[in-house]
Amino acid sequence: MQKKSVFTFLKKTNIIGVFILLTVFLAGCSGSNSANSSGWFHEVFVDNFSALIKFIAEFFNDNYGLSIIIITIAIRLVVMPFMIKQTKNNLIMQDKMKELKPEMDEIQKKYKDKKDPESQRKMQAEMMQLYQKHNFNPLASFGGCLPVLIQFPFLIGFYYAIRQTPEIATHTFLWFNLGERDMLMIAIAVIVYFIQYKVSQIGLDPKMKKQMAIIGLMSPIMIGVISLNTFSALPLYWTVGGIIVIIQTLISKRIYLAHKREIEQSEQK
């Protein structure tokens, strides 16, 4: 069996780690509502977000649905620079890997039938020499976690604020009651996250798409399952956030690809 590159392992570990973290968080959130929680995080993020939800809703004639949308957009705009940087870094890493792949394949082919520890060490040494030759750091893939982690205090804080603001449950928005389960809103949230998954695959090579398929599809499934066990204000929040992520991903990829074409054209002159 062909030995996988260091980058492939790190990339998958990076993504799977973030996915597991999100799964644990959302599963825990769906099972409890810590209305009486205390501590610095609750005071700094949850309480302030809850107060902000009420303030904006009152400004718009007790429209809590609109308040959730406005704050969601604001949060996403704040973290957008980090997300754009993450997308750009991922695209750069993918392009680097495409450049390195032929030489990596040659090294892996050379040691394909050599499974002893000494041969494996030599193979890894040659891989590292190749990375140094092209100024490529496979460990940089772990940097992709940082933008996600930076978002967590804001997104988690707002999530709990929605759950712990009782006024939301007594109001309606558009066709649904914010405090009750709405199947159409759940379906919309699932569709948005599926589209987000498809957009994230734009520009990936077929092998990477296949590797990411299961993880990517788990996101809309998880959103659907959790939404079935909570009130419709949360699918509304996820839907708006998902739409913004789709837009910023498309913008990031378009900007990067345009910049890449300019570089290629200048090199050809």
- Is it the case that residue 63 has pLDDT exceeding 50? yes
Region 238-258 average pLDDT: 82
**pLDDT on residue 192:** 92
Task: Look at residue 188 and tell me whether its pLDDT is greater than 90.
Answer: yes
Q: Flag the least confident range among 10-19, 36-45, 250-259.
A: 10-19
pLDDT value for 15: 44
What is the pLDDT averaged over residues 33-55? Answer: 73
Highest mean pLDDT: which of 85-94, 115-124, 182-191?
182-191
| pLDDT score, position 238 | 87
3-state secondary structure of 177: strand
Mean pLDDT across the chain = 74
CB under 8 Å to 185, separation ≥6 — which residues? Answer: 176, 227, 232, 235, 236, 239
Domain boundaries, the chain: 6-263
pLDDT bucket at 20, cuts 50 / 70 / 90 = very low
Collapsed DSSP state (helix, strand, coil) of residue 176:
strand
Residue whose token pair is 């997300």? 83
- How many whole angstroms separate alpha carbon 30 and alpha carbon 102? 46
* H or E stretch at 20: helix 6-31
* pLDDT value of residue 17: 44
Q: Which residue has the higher pLDDT, 10 or 46?
A: 46
The structure tokens 């990067």 sit at 256
Res 187: pLDDT: 92
Q: What is the pLDDT of residue 23?
A: 44
What pLDDT is attached to residue 243? 92
Question: In the structure encoding, which two tokens stand for residue 102, read together?
Answer: 């032929």
Please, which pLDDT band fits residue 191 given cuts at 50, 70 and 90?
very high
